[in-house]
Amino acid sequence: KYAVSGRKKNVAELIATYERERGRSCRKYKCRYIQLNGNLGDIPVRIFLIKYGRSSAWNVLLTTDTTMSFVKAFEVYQIRWNIEVMNKETKQYLGLGGYQG
């Protein structure tokens, strides 16, 4: 659960509460998002709830940089995701993922 405006809520509750009043559209990435500041435990975070196109599913993007814009956070996430996929595929190809010891 995330603490937003002094109340702890899960993602579904955040969407139900803030979708109409804080929902924004991003033409660049063809999505709808809600931007909230809150806390995860004691850590201040910026929460982006993202919905693509006509999909009914929402995704969560979380950052500890509470000044970051949606577009910047999304671009950083895209770069990071590409790096993670490359690392996973490299480990699989070279057989480095199985041994921890």
Non-local CB neighbours of 80 within 8 Å, separated by 6+ positions: none
* Overall size of the chain counted in residues: 101
Summarize pLDDT for 22-59 with one digit per residue, the tens.
999 999 999 999 999 999 999 999 999 999 988 889 99
Where do the structural domains in the chain lie, given as residue ranges? Answer: 2-67
Cα–Cα distance measured from residue 59 to residue 75, given in angstroms and rounded to the nearest whole number: 15
Split at pLDDT 50, 70, 90, the class of 101 is very low
Taking the CA of residue 39 as centre, how many other CA atoms within 13 Å lie in the half-sphere pointing to its CB? Answer: 8
Q: With beta carbons less than 8 A apart as the criterion, state whether 2 and 38 touch.
A: yes
Q: What is the pLDDT of residue 90?
A: 87
Helix then strand count (H, E) for the chain reads 2, 6
